[in-house]
Chain A
Amino acid sequence: MTEVLVCLEGSASTERAAGVAIELARTLPATLVGLAIVDEPDIVAGSPTSIGGASFRKDRNAALLEDAHQLARGWLDGFVARGRAAGVAVRALEITGSAAEMILAEVPRHDLTVLGRDVNFRFETQDRDRHTRDRILRRAGKPVIVVPGQLAAPGPAVMIAYDGSPAAIRALHSFAASGLARRGDVHVASVDDDGANAFETATRGCELLAQRGIRAVPENVVSSEPTAAALLSRSARIGAGMIVLGGYIPSALARLVWGSVTHEIVERAVVPVFLHY
Chain B
Amino acid sequence: MNHHALVSALAIAPLLGYLLVIAALPLVFARFWDDNRNKLVVALAAAVPVAIYLVASSPDGADRLIETAREYAAFMALLGALFVITAGVYLRGDLPGTPAVNTAMLAVGTVLASAIGTTGASALLIRPMLRANAHRGYRRHIVVFFIFLVSNGGGLLTPLGDPPLFLGFLRGVPFTWTLHLAAPWAMVSTALLVIFALVDRAISRRDPPPPPRTREPLRIEGAWNLVWLIGIVATVVAVGSYGRGWPAAPLVQIGAMVGFAALSIATTPRRIHDANRFSWAPILEVAAVFLGIFVTMVPALAFLHDRGASLGITQPWQLFWLSGALSSVLDNAPTYLTFASLATGVVNAGGGQLSVHDLGALAAHPTGRELLAAVSCGSVFMGAMTYIGNGPNFMVKAIAEQHHVRMPSFFGYTLWSLGILAPVLAAVAVVVFW
Contacts and interface: CB of A to CB of B under 8 A. Distances in A.
Given A47-B26, A51-B289, A54-B26, A59 B410 contact: no
Contact of A47 (B277, B281, B289, B410): B410
Nearest to A123: B406
B388 interface: yes
Of A44, A47, A52, A54, most buried by chain B (CB within 10 Å of CB) is A52
Given A55-B281, A55-B285, A57-B34, A49 B402 contact: no
Contacts of A44: 30-31
Contacts of B282: 52-53, 55-56
In the A-B complex, list the 3 residue pairs whose CB atoms are closest, starting with the nearest: A53-B394, A46-B30, A49-B26
Given A53-B398, A57-B398, 12 more contacts: A47-B26, A47-B27, A48-B27, A50-B392, A50-B394, A50-B395, A52-B282, A52-B289, A53-B394, A53-B395, A56-B282, A60-B398
A121 to B, nearest CB: 14
Contacts of A211: none
A48 B28 contact: no
A152 B71 CA distance: 70
Interface in B377-414: 386-395, 397-399, 401-402, 404, 406, 409-410
A257 interface: no
B393 A56 contact: no
B29 interface: yes
A50 B390 contact: yes
B57 interface: no
A66 to B, nearest CB: 10
Contact of A49 (B31, B33, B286, B404): B33
5 contacts: A48-B27, A54-B33, A58-B34, A59-B398, A60-B402
Interface of A: 44-60, 63-64, 67, 125-127
Contact of B27 (A46, A64, A127): A46
A114 to B, nearest CB: 26
Contacts of B387: 47-50, 53
B23 interface: yes
Contacts of A125: 401, 406
B26 A55 contact: no
A58 to B, nearest CB: 5
B398 A52 contact: no
A107 to B, nearest CB: 28
B155 to A, nearest CB: 14
B95 interface: no
B282 to A, nearest CB: 4
Contacts of B290: 51
B394 A57 contact: yes
A55 B395 CA distance: 8
A50 B391 contact: yes
B331 interface: yes
B44 to A, nearest CB: 16
A51 B281 CA distance: 12
Contacts of A55: 36, 279, 281-282, 284-285
Nearest to A43: B401
Contact of A52 (B28, B395, B404): B395
Given A57-B398, A64-B402, A48 B285 contact: no
B22 interface: yes
B390 to A, nearest CB: 6
A55 B282 CA distance: 5
Contact of B34 (A51, A54, A63, A127): A54
- Interface centre among A47, A48, A67, A126, by most B CB within 10 Å? A48
A59 B398 CA distance: 8
B39 interface: yes
A45 B26 CA distance: 9
Contacts of A54: 26, 33-34, 39, 285
Interface string B13-54: 000000000110011111101101001000000000000000
A50 B388 contact: yes
B277 A48 contact: no
A44 B31 CA distance: 9
B191 interface: no
Given A50-B388, A50-B390, A60 B27 contact: no
Interface string B259-287: 00000000000000000010101111110
B281 A58 contact: yes
A48 to B, nearest CB: 5
A127 to B, nearest CB: 6
Nearest to B409: A47
Q: Give the interface centre of A44, A50, A125 by most chain B CB atoms within 10 Å.
A: A50
B28 A46 contact: yes
Contact of B286 (A45, A51, A64, A67): A51
A135 B277 CA distance: 39
B410 to A, nearest CB: 5
A60 B390 CA distance: 18
Contacts of B281: 55, 58
A216 to B, nearest CB: 46
Contact of B401 (A50, A52, A58, A60): A60
B34 to A, nearest CB: 5
Contacts of B283: 52
Contacts of B399: 56, 60
Contact of B331 (A50, A57, A59, A64): A50
Contacts of A60: 398-399, 401-402
